[in-house]
Amino acid sequence: MNMYLTKSRYLTGQHCSKKLWLSTHRYELGEYVKSFAATIGDEVGIGATTNYPNGKMIQASYKEHEAAVKETLELINDDQTGAIFEAAFEHDDIRIRVDIFERLGDNKWGIREVKSSKLVKNHFYHDIGIQYYVLVGLGYDIASAKLIHTNSNYILKEKEIDWGNFFSAVEYLPDIKESLPEIKNELLRLRKIQHDTKEPFIYPSQGYCKGCEFWDYCTKDKPSDWVEHLPRLSPKKRNELQELKIENIAKIPEGFSLTNNQSKIVNATKTGEVFCDDSFSSEIKKYNPPAYYFDFETLSCAIPIFRGLKPFERVPFQWSLHHLSVEGKTQHWEFLAREKTDFRREMIESFINIVHPNQDKIIVYNASFEKSVLKEMGVLYPDLQDKINNIIERIEDLMAFIQKNFYHPQFNGSFSLKKVLPALLPHEEKYSEGEVSHGGEAQAQFYNIICDKYDQNKKAMARGDLIAYCKKDTHSLILIYQHLLRNY
């Protein structure tokens, strides 16, 4: 059994003792999917290495730790190597990789931890702290320990990223030196967890466990109407339900204090019947045709894709638009950017040119998103602001209507489009447009297309997947509206 700690296990244990235990003893139970943000983080890390021209990369993989340590020692002994990328070390049963281990002269070294984040987050401090503990324990003289992160004020001015100006740095060394006793105490606690023969008990919750690889394992025995599916369940209410040993929504007793929305979900779950508010029939008229059905897809990542952008600046790159006439006739239009140039004006003008000539309502799902993107376009292009404001005023939110007036027991507490559609129309094809089934995958596919990560055949396939995915969103709005009108 590999009882050693790593940087990731150290951070994991600080958040969740169960995840640390599972990653040590039952690693195979996790589902490990690399996110788009993590992939971009790798690119940012590689970009940071270009600022160290005399640096060398360790070739051994993370699974080849002993080989990586050997490579690292060879480069440390090579005075011509100014920095070591992914340097590997082991001390006190702790294995680490240092993003950039910089030679500072006079046998002094610097830790450089690279993050694709414009915010300095609390756990970054702990990430660098465990590296410092290991390196000092091995006898290295650490003269600097910096967090290198995305400079929020950087603007891409040329075709390629200027990595020299892309980053900001924060020196953590004084704080980390003071925290060594705290780190040692934390290591004792984490090792105790690792060496325990019994799996720790942590009650899973949507907020606390968000993104955890062991979510499916930890929730495998939970009922389909698990109370955790109740939206906006406060910690206090969650604790009260746990004390009552209630995990099923259907078993929540009468008189238990809940919000109106939560009570509606509880009642529908208990009876198995659809909830329809008294105002349903009158309010659904707001969505009667003629109407457009609209959806944006946006990209937000650390690496700007064209001149004038900042890191993480949101860029709408695609839209889908359906129109339903009074007679029931549908039309469809779409936009998907093709070039790695600023396509935003073309994107928004092509949309305006279709919807501006008339005053038909524009139906979206979660209006705050579409409205915020449109407002950003209005600020970017002041000459279009009046037309954009007119469009914003015409927007109606189908999600808001459903949340207020309707609930189906098979929503399982969620009003997301990907829950609502199969609950209402179980025979409708599910979201599985090639490699695009959610917004994160849409971002990844577009980034790979626009940044030439794919060959021409793969690009064509990915474009097709993106178009089908976005089109399904707006077509689904029509199907949901028609189903609600016809059946309730």
Domain CATH code at residue 114: 3.90.320
Q: What is the residue range of 172's domain?
A: 5-195
Please list the helix, strand and coil fractions of the chain in percent, rounded to the nearest 5, in that order. 45, 20, 35
- Asked whether residue 154 falls in the same domain as residue 249, the answer is no
- Asked whether residue 264 falls in the same domain as residue 298, the answer is no
Indicate whether 177 belongs to any domain.
yes
Count of alpha carbons within 13 angstroms of residue 9, beta-carbon side = 23
The overall pTM is greater than 0.75? yes
- Asked whether residue 260 falls in the same domain as residue 159, the answer is no
- Asked whether residue 170 falls in the same domain as residue 260, the answer is no
- Do residues 12 and 88 touch, judged by C-beta distance below 8 A? no
Domain count, the chain: 3
Indicate whether 226 belongs to any domain.
no
Indicate whether 208 belongs to any domain.
no
- Asked whether residue 64 falls in the same domain as residue 106, the answer is yes
- Asked whether residue 425 falls in the same domain as residue 388, the answer is yes
Of the candidates 271, 289, 318, which is a domain's last residue? 271
- Give me the helices (H) in 358-455, please: 367-380, 385-393, 398-405, 417-424, 439-450
Q: What is the 3-state secondary structure (H, E, C) of 61-103?
A: CCCCHHHHHHHHHHHHCCCCCCEEEEEEEEECCEEEEEEEEEE
pLDDT, position 373: 98
- Asked whether residue 29 falls in the same domain as residue 124, the answer is yes
- Asked whether residue 453 falls in the same domain as residue 412, the answer is yes
Indicate whether 262 belongs to any domain.
yes
Q: How far apart are CA 236 and CA 240, in angstroms?
A: 6
- Asked whether residue 302 falls in the same domain as residue 251, the answer is no
Indicate whether 234 belongs to any domain.
no
Q: Using DSSP, state whether 347 is helix, strand or coil.
A: helix
- Asked whether residue 293 falls in the same domain as residue 259, the answer is no
- Asked whether residue 189 falls in the same domain as residue 47, the answer is yes
Of the candidates 271, 290, 313, which is a domain's last residue? 271
pLDDT, position 17: 96
Indicate whether 107 belongs to any domain.
yes
For each of the chain's 488 residues, which pLDDT tens digit applies? 568 999 999 999 999 999 999 999 999 999 998 899 999 999 999 999 999 999 999 999 999 999 999 999 999 999 999 999 999 999 999 999 999 999 998 899 999 999 999 888 878 889 999 999 999 999 999 999 999 999 999 999 998 999 999 999 999 999 999 999 999 999 999 999 999 999 999 999 888 898 899 999 999 999 999 999 999 999 899 999 999 999 999 999 998 999 999 999 999 999 999 999 999 999 999 999 999 999 999 999 999 999 999 999 999 999 999 999 999 999 999 999 998 999 999 999 999 999 999 999 999 999 999 999 999 999 999 999 999 999 999 999 999 999 999 999 999 999 999 999 999 999 887 666 567 888 899 999 999 999 999 999 999 999 999 999 999 999 999 999 999 999 98
Indicate whether 149 belongs to any domain.
yes
Q: Are strands 330-336 and 361-364 parallel, antiparallel or unpaired?
A: unpaired
- Asked whether residue 261 falls in the same domain as residue 297, the answer is no
469: domain CATH number is 3.30.420.10
- Do residues 151 and 180 touch, judged by C-beta distance below 8 A? no
Indicate whether 214 belongs to any domain.
no
**Cβ-Cβ contacts under 8 Å for 220 (sequence gap 6 or more):** none
Count of alpha carbons within 13 angstroms of residue 45, beta-carbon side = 19
